[in-house]
């Protein structure tokens, strides 16, 4: 059943199981309406659903048409059922109501309407539909509880890009409920997680909700051998600095520059080498996951190390292709031919990644990128943070992208423990004057979530020193510390995970107290029958059996550079055990800051200069 | 939980029985009975329809099948040969029985829809009743439904399978099950369920009703319990129930004591665009800053410029000026208003001039956008481009904009140079950058540094002699050389190399550009013995 998802099952925890689970549930859900059907998709769901099912599968289940959810009327179709698949968002309810109104005035062949909320029904949305007078038109209103989408063998995402904004700006903790629910689903599939650690307000909330949900099950706990030992839940507010910094790993840079959307990117077709591309196709989709072995190797490397690996691989593959000349006997020939498909696939992937790396290099070699990076390095080292930085001023004067300006200012603010009033006022005025008065709201929002704040107690320096966030002399080719992912800065969030694994959080109590939000620790009892027998008959396999598995859940999003650092940690002997990363979404600085904009600002018109 | 439940029922029983109490008069008892009877009837009807509505799914199999069998009249002939092992009479026997309920229920289905919309208008909070339909389907679907639906699908579809007696049994079982559910629902309808149970129902998306929580303490305990459970749906439901059923003052008072509940209420208001109530509630909760921002946002999203200005003014008066902590923002808002009021007349007159098509500058540089709603620096750029030479007392004068919005010198220079460069007003740039030195002496000075000036000029394709003039003023020689190379200003390149005493550099230049006039100059420089090379 798990077609095209072999890469999900390559780690210790088989996430293919989760995918199959969702797949089954989804088919069951749509099979409930009989006859031919058209699915109307909320745009935000097509990507995630693409990862669990494919169109041919839906066709087998009588899905004849697929439409995007738009305002106005639905395209004509003669199916028996129309199924709306949507997230519980009020603005989408408007669209659905419009669609239904149009359908009803159209008359003609009678259709049945169904509504499926992903991941959960919402009282507010249902009320909205009732207000619009269309709720009664639905034959069924259901929910399909898909929250955590498996992206890779060690990566899960809820794809809720607004989770951070909703929690910290609007005090709307719905996404935390989903997070807790998704953790319950994981526990149902992979067994109860014994140890839970967390840091931050939301982490506490999630743990509390999990406890409540567990109580509600009233002893009907999953009788599954626990596979995950420890769960670490981290709030994004604990470490706001890391996501703002320029990611310097291969995958991180790709995400920053092109934006990875549900593990795939779109690239300009003419840049992808001499592949036969059809006329008129401007962009080509490239899927980025560990099914591509070359990418699996490259993704977490510092970008400076990518070039040499690619060229080494290129030599290797040329040599392997050369073997056919050496093949004398038929046996050798046969062996070569059997390798051929693999070789060709590798060559193809090599070509793709060479092109991508070239595109990325164009950006990283540009003056503005280098300048911004230099400015960032100064800030995180605590230099020049207390005055107006000339680069920021210049970026504003040039009307560069607002998200870039805000990014630098926020980094400065965090590294300086808040900006001095004079500096803050200067930046504020310049931004408002150049990008528009409406950004009073944006700046206000940034202050609310703490990315921008007035000068306060000095904590950054203490945290920086005691957690060794700044590492001089990083080896980008053969790293020895997680700091390689930001060329000299070790992400705070990942350091916390590292200290938790060894020697334990007790050793950094003081630092933890400086970070916002409460610390959470909880032990969930596991029925005796399911407990791991630490030293028993299976001790012969203890070397592998004792490997601990930790799940790290980021509330408010995680960056690819952090994921890379965590993967690096998992490979180190001194930490031991495997890591699985889950998050409300994969974020970049741009995505995070864009979500902070007031909704009236819309898209900034580029300035006429 | 169980104990609670029992207590709830206990309550119910005593309430029902109390008509036989001694202190109840016969008339009163009669009244109670009749009214209860009436209620029951009412309820029965309601439930009947509910029942039909919820059983639509079980009937829906036929609803799904019937049309397709009509459109494909020779279905049986298609199906029979495909699986000849199943006797065709079975097919014939089942079809009518499946189709029959559909026809008889057809009218009820409509009625059900009607009642649904009715319950909407009468009491939106009775949503519990509405939610019953989908939920029942869902429950059914998860255990038996999907199974039987599949077989029917196969029977009607291409697979050619037929109904068996199993299917009929299953349907009958379902009918029994639904009846049980109906009875249970009927019983619960007027019972005050324990708060915990109701909340759990809300959280699980099951039908529930809040209308039995009549006393204030019941409503509040519902709300408080919901808050401790941290379920958004439940909190919102409890807050809205409270709001609907108590006096406004009480509601506000209780909300102030419960910040979490208040947040959920605010989210609800935001989602439903009930801005007035949102702003009121925020102010009431003492969150005046947020209220001010909401109001400001609202004012900003106004399309019409005149309305926008007046609503901004109202917002300024009502929120920003009233709150001392918002003084900083208040001055920004004042600036915003001034900017809009400045843009309005400029836009009006310029749009007219452009339409007339007689003003040269608008022909040379057609306006690409309307000025209104543009940021300050863009406005400045615009005015430098079209109205650079106006007196300071004019609305469109760049200097007056600079003064009003307290633009820093650097920002002003940057924008003005860019705009004049676009207009090819090289002399304006020179004038702009000329500072009066001591004793009336003149000197070129640029707040942004001449390097940036060259950058800007290059971007607007300034001629080489202009570029060279400013390149000379770049103090750092390395920077000057880089800029000269970037702008392809060959003469400046040679001169800089000479200044750096870099003979090899000049030689290389002469080789590289051997065919140009500048190469001749380079060779001449190389022959010049007065220069001391490194």
pLDDT at A82 over 50: yes
What is the per-residue pLDDT for A533?
55
| Partner residue opposite B138 with nearest CB, options A138, A142, A438 | A142
Residue B381 burial (CB count, 10 A): 23
Nearest to A556 by CA among A29, A129, A153, A163: A163
At residue A362, the pLDDT reads 92
Q: Report the mean per-residue pLDDT for chain A.
A: 86
Residue A535 pLDDT exceeds 80: no
Q: What is the pLDDT of residue B346?
A: 92
Test A425 with B328 for CB contact under 8 angstroms: yes
B-chain CB neighbours of A599 within 8 Å are 297
| Average pLDDT over every residue of A462-481 | 91
CA–CA distance, A398 with B10 (Å, rounded to integer): 75
> Which stretch of DSSP H or E encloses residue A138?
strand A138-143
Determine the pLDDT at residue A494: 94
Whole-number average pLDDT of chain B? 73
For residue A128, the chain B residues in CB contact (below 8 A) are 271-272
Q: Tell me: the pLDDT tens digits for B137-147?
A: 333 333 333 34
Would you state the pLDDT for residue A281? 60
Sheet holding A195-199, edge to edge: A149-152, A155-157, A578-583, A549-555, A230-235, A195-199, A519-523
Residue A103's pLDDT is what?
Answer: 83
The reported pLDDT for the residue numbered A278 is 52
Which is more confidently placed, B234 or A407? A407
**pLDDT at residue A273, rounded to an integer:** 58
Is residue B451 predicted with pLDDT exceeding 90? no
At B344-386, the pLDDT tens digits run 999 999 999 888 888 888 888 888 888 988 999 999 999 999 9
Q: Which residues fall within 8 angstroms of residue A61, CB to CB, at 6 or more apart?
A: A27, A30, A31
For B326, nearest residue in chain A (alpha carbons) = A444
Which residue in A has a C-alpha nearest to residue B233's C-alpha?
A123
| Nearest Cα residue in chain A from B365 | A608
B347, containing H or E segment: helix B327-356
Confidence of residue B62 (pLDDT cuts 50, 70, 90): very low
Q: Kindly determine whether residue B153 and residue A136, on different chains, have CB atoms separated by under 8 Å.
A: no
Residues of B in contact with A131 (CB under 8 A): 124
CB pair distance less than 8 Å for B377 and A216: no
Distances (CA, A) of B417 to B407, B414, B482, B514: 15, 5, 21, 35
pLDDT of B123 above 90: no
Interface probe with A: pick from B132, B158, B230, B368, most Cβ of A within 10 Å: B230
DSSP H helices, A489-571, are 492-501, 509-514, 542-545, 560-571
Are B230 and B210 in contact, with CB atoms under 8 Å apart? no
Give the one of B267, B405, B411 whose C-beta lies nearest to A172's C-beta. Answer: B267
Residue B15 or A406, more confident: A406
Q: What is the pLDDT of residues B266-277, one digit of tens each?
A: 988 887 888 899
Q: pLDDT tens digits, residue range A106-164?
A: 766 678 899 999 888 888 888 889 888 888 889 888 889 888 999 999 999 998 888 99
Which among A173, A122, A13, A116 is positioned nearest to A584, based on CA atoms? A173
Interface touch A397/B448, C-beta < 8 Å: yes
- Output the CA torsion sign for A114, A117, A121, A122: negative
DSSP B319: I
Containing B310, the helix (H) or strand (E) segment is helix B305-315
Min mean pLDDT across A311-320, B34-43, B265-274 is at B34-43
List, as ranges, residues 312-351 from B with C-beta within 8 Å of A.
328-329, 332-333, 335-336, 339
Cis peptide before B49 (omega within 30 of 0): no
Q: Nearest residue on chain B to A597, judged by CA atoms?
A: B297
Q: Is A423 helix (H, G, I), strand (E, B) or coil?
A: helix
Banded pLDDT at B54 (limits 50, 70, 90): very low
Reported as a pLDDT band with limits 50, 70 and 90, residue B9 is: very low
- Where do the DSSP E strands lie in A254-399? 264-268, 283-287
Kindly state the average pLDDT of the residues B101-113: 38
> Would you place residue B46 in the very low, low, confident or very high pLDDT band (cuts 50, 70, 90)?
very low
Residues of A whose CB is below 8 A from B299: none
Cα A92 to chain centroid, rounded: 23
Contact B239, B264 (CB under 8 A): yes
Report in angstroms the alpha-carbon separations of B274 from A470, A589, B295, B531.
48, 32, 12, 79
Residue-level pLDDT at B495:
86
Q: How much is the average pLDDT of B93-121?
A: 36
A–B interface: beta-carbon pairs under 8 A: 177
Q: Is A205 on the interface with B (CB under 8 A)?
A: yes
Closest-CA distance, A540 to chain B, in angstroms, reads 44
Residue B327's pLDDT is what?
A: 85
Interface of A with B in 438-457 (CB under 8 A): 438, 440-441, 444
Q: What angle do helix axes A367-380 and A330-365 make, rounded to 10 degrees?
A: 80
Per-residue model confidence (pLDDT) at position A280: 55
> For residues B474 and B150, which has the higher predicted lDDT (pLDDT)?
B474
Rounded to an integer, the average pLDDT of B279-303 is 89
Which pLDDT score is estimated for A379?
Answer: 94
Q: How far is CA B175 from CA B43, B45, B169, in A?
A: 20, 18, 10
Nearest-angstrom CA–CA distance, A244 and A590: 8
User: Across the interface, do A441 and B411 touch by the CB < 8 Å criterion?
Assistant: no
| pLDDT computed for residue A275 by the predictor | 53
CA A299/CA A265 separation, integer angstroms: 14
Tokens read off for B360: 């040269």
Distance CA A417, CA A406 (A): 16
**Does A568 have pLDDT greater than 60?**
yes
Whole-structure pTM value: 0.78
Q: What is the pLDDT of residue B164?
A: 65
Is residue A31 within 8 angstroms of chain B, CB to CB? yes
Instruction: For residue A573, count CB atoms less than 10 angstroms from its CB and return exposed for 0-12, middle for 13-18, buried for 19 or more.
Output: exposed
pLDDT at A598 over 80: no
Residue A407 has pLDDT above 90, yes or no: yes
User: Region A47-59: what's the mean pLDDT?
Assistant: 87
Residue scoring higher pLDDT (B446 or A299): A299
Q: Is the pLDDT of residue A545 over 80?
A: no
User: Is pLDDT of B8 > 70?
Assistant: no
């Amino acid at each position: 059943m798990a077609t095209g998802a072999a890469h999900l099952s390559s780690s210790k925890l088989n996430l293919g199981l989760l995918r199959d689970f969702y797949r089954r549930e989804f088919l069951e859900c749509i099979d409930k309406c009989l006859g031919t059907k058209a699915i109307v998709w909320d745009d935000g769901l097509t990507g995630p659903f693409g990862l669990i099912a494919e169109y041919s599968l839906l066709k087998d289940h009588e899905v004849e048409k697929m439409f995007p959810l738009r305002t106005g009327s639905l395209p004509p179709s003669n199916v028996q059922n129309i199924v709306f698949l949507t997230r519980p968002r009020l603005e989408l309810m408007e669209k659905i109501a419009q669609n239904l109104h149009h359908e009803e005035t159209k008359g003609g062949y009678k259709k049945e309407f169904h509504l499926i909320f992903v991941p959960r029904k919402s009282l507010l949305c249902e009320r909205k539909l009732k207000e619009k007078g269309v709720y009664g038109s639905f034959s069924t209103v259901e929910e399909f509880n898909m929250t955590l989408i498996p992206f890779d063998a060690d990566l899960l995402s809820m794809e809720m890009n607004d989770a951070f904004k909703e929690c910290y700006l609007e005090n709307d903790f719905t996404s935390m409920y989903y997070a807790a629910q998704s953790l319950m689903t994981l526990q149902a599939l992979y067994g109860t997680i014994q140890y839970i650690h967390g840091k931050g307000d939301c982490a506490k909330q999630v743990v509390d909700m999990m406890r409540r949900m567990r109580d509600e099950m009233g002893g009907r706990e999953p009788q599954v051998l626990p596979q995950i030992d420890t769960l670490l839940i981290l709030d994004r507010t604990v470490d706001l600095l890391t996501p703002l910094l320029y990611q310097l790993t291969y995958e991180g840079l790709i995400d920053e520059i092109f934006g990875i959307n549900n593990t795939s990117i779109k690239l300009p077709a003419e840049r992808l080498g001499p592949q036969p591309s059809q006329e008129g196709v401007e962009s080509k989709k490239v899927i980025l996951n560990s099914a591509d072995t070359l990418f699996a190797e490259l993704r977490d490397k510092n970008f400076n190390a990518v070039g040499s690996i690619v060229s080494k691989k290129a030599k290797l593959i040329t040599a392997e292709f050369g073997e056919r000349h050496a093949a004398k006997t038929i046996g050798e020939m046969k062996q070569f031919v059997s390798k051929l498909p693999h070789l060709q696939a590798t060559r193809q992937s090599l070509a793709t990644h060479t092109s991508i790396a070239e595109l990325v290099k164009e950006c990283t070699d540009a003056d503005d990128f280098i300048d911004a990076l230099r400015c960032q390095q100064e800030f995180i080292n605590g230099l020049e943070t207390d005055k107006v930085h000339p680069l920021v001023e210049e970026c504003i004067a040039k009307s560069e992208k607002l998200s870039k300006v805000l990014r630098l200012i926020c980094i400065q603010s965090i590294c300086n423990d808040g900006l001095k009033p004079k500096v803050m006022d200067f930046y504020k005025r310049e931004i408002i004057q150049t990008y528009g008065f409406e950004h009073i709201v944006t700046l206000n929002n940034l202050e609310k979530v703490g990315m921008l704040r007035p000068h306060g107690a000095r904590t950054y320096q203490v945290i920086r020193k005691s957690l060794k966030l700044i590492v001089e002399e990083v080896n980008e080719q053969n790293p020895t510390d997680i700091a390689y992912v930001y060329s000299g800065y070790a992400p705070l969030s990942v350091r916390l995970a590292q200290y938790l694994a060894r020697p334990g959080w007790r050793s950094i109590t003081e630092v933890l107290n400086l970070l916002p939000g409460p610390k959470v620790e909880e032990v969930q009892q596991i029925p005796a029958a399911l407990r791991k027998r630490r030293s028993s008959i299976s001790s012969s396999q203890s070397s592998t059996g004792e490997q601990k598995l930790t799940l790290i859940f980021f509330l408010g999003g995680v960056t690819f550079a952090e994921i890379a650092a965590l993967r690096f940690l998992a490979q180190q002997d001194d930490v031991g055990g495997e890591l699985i990363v889950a998050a409300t979404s994969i974020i970049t600085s741009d995505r995070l800051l864009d979500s902070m904009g007031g909704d009236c600002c819309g898209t900034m018109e580029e300035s006429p200069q | 939980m169980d104990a609670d439940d029992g207590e709830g029922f206990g309550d119910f029983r005593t309430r029902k029985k109390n008509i036989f109490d001694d202190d109840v008069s016969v008339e009163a008892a009669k009244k109670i009975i009749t009214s209860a009877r009436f209620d029951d009837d009412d309820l029965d009807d309601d439930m009947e329809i509910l029942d039909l509505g919820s059983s639509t799914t079980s009937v829906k199999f036929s609803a799904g099948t019937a049309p397709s069998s009509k459109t494909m009249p020779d279905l049986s002939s298609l199906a029979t040969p495909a699986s000849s092992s199943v006797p065709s009479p079975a097919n014939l026997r089942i079809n009518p029985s499946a189709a029959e309920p559909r026809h008889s229920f057809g009218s009820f289905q409509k009625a059900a829809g009607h009642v649904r919309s009715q319950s909407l208008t009468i009491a939106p909070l009775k949503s519990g009743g509405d939610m019953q339909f989908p939920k029942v389907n869902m429950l059914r679907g998860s255990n038996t439904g999907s199974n039987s639906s599949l077989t029917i699908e196969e029977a009607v579809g291409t697979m050619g399978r037929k109904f068996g007696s199993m299917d009929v049994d299953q349907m009958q079982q379902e009918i029994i099950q639904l009846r049980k559910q109906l009875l249970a629902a009927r019983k619960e309808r007027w019972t005050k369920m324990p708060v915990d149970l109701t909340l759990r129902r809300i959280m699980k998306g099951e039908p529930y009703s809040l209308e039995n929580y009549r006393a204030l303490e019941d409503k509040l305990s519902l709300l408080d319990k919901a808050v401790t459970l941290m379920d958004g749906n439940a909190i919102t439901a409890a807050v809205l129930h409270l709001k609907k059923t108590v006096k406004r003052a009480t509601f506000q008072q209780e909300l102030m004591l419960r910040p979490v509940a208040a947040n959920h209420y605010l989210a609800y208001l935001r989602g439903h665009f009930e801005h007035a109530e949102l702003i009121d509630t925020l102010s009431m909760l003492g969150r005046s800053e947020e209220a001010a921002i909401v109001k400001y946002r609202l004012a900003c999203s106004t399309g019409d410029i005149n309305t926008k200005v007046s609503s901004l003014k109202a917002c300024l008066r009502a929120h920003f000026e009233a709150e001392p902590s918002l003084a900083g923002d208040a001055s920004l808002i004042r600036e915003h208003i001034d900017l809009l009021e400045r843009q309005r007349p400029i836009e009006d007159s310029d749009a007219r001039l452009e339409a007339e098509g007689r003003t040269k500058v608008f022909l040379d540089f057609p306006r690409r956008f309307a000025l209104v709603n543009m940021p300050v620096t863009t406005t400045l750029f615009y005015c430098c481009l079209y109205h650079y030479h106006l007196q300071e007392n004019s609305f469109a004068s760049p200097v007056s904009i600079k003064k009003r919005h307290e633009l820093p010198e650097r920002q002003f220079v940057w924008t003005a140079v860019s705009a004049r460069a676009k207009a090819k007003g090289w002399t304006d740039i020179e004038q702009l950058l000329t500072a009066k030195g001591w004793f009336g002496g003149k000197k070129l000075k640029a707040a942004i540094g001449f390097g940036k000036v060259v950058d800007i000029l290059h971007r607007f394709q300034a001629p080489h002699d202009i570029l060279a003039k400013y390149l000379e003023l770049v103090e750092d020689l390395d920077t000057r050389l880089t800029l000269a190379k970037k702008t392809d200003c060959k003469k400046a390149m040679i001169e800089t190399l000479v200044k750096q005493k870099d003979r090899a550099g000049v030689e290389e230049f002469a080789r590289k550009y051997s065919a140009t006039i500048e190469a001749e100059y380079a060779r001449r420089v190389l022959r010049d013995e007065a220069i001391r090379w490194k």
